[in-house]
């Protein structure tokens, strides 16, 4: 596709509900990242996939957060038993992974704004 897409764009959940956020990366991009952006803050890393392998999940704030990318393309971030502090914008980014990966440009999606009541 033309860019990274995310759905839904907005999600309102009652505290305790489970939510699933979807990311469609740019076609052919090997690397996929999830970030969490709280109001007034910069994005913070959650987890990283290279193809279907989750290579880094050090940023996931609790075991209520789970991410998967089973076929190496679409990814889903799942939050179980949502809490008010989970309210944030969840951003997905993908990169092509050419050469030195740490210099690759990450292309961001529009984000999903999660509000937990």
Partner 1 sequence: AQSVSQHNHHVILSEAASLELGCNYSYGGTVNLFWYVQYPGQHLQLLLKYFSGDPLVKGIKGFEAEFIKSKFSFNLRKPSVQWSDTAEYFCAVTSNFGNEKLTFGTGTRLTIIP
Question: Tokens 């009652």 map to which residue?
Answer: 14
Shortest Cβ 90–partner 1 spacing (Å): 12
Residues 22, 69: Cα–Cα separation, whole Å: 10
For residues 2 and 63, which CB has a smaller minimum distance to partner 1 in the complex?
2
Taking CA atoms, 1 is separated from 4, 9, 25, 26, 102, in Å, by: 7, 17, 8, 6, 24
Shortest Cβ 5–partner 1 spacing (Å): 10
Output the DSSP codes for 67-91. Answer: EE-TTSS-EEEEESS--GGG-EEEE
For residues 33 and 65, which CB has a smaller minimum distance to partner 1 in the complex?
33
Residues 74, 6: Cα–Cα separation, whole Å: 10
For residues 82 and 94, which CB has a smaller minimum distance to partner 1 in the complex?
94
Shortest Cβ 17–partner 1 spacing (Å): 26
Shortest Cβ 24–partner 1 spacing (Å): 13
Give the binding site for partner 1 (CB under 8 A). 3-4, 31, 33, 35, 40-45, 48, 56, 59, 91, 93, 95, 97, 100-111
For residues 75 and 95, which CB has a smaller minimum distance to partner 1 in the complex?
95
């Amino acid at each position: 596709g033309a860019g990274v897409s995310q759905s839904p764009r907005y999600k309102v959940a009652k505290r305790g509900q489970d939510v699933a956020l979807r990311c469609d990366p740019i076609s052919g991009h090997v690397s996929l990242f999830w970030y969490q952006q709280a109001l007034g803050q910069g994005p913070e890393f959650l987890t990283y996939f290279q193809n279907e392998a989750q290579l880094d999940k050090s940023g996931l704030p609790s075991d209520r957060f789970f991410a998967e990318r089973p076929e190496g393309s679409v990814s889903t971030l799942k939050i179980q038993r949502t809490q008010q502090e989970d309210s944030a914008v969840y951003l997905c980014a993908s990169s092509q992974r050419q050469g030195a990966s740490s210099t690759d440009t990450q292309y961001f999606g529009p984000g999903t704004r999660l509000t937990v009541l």
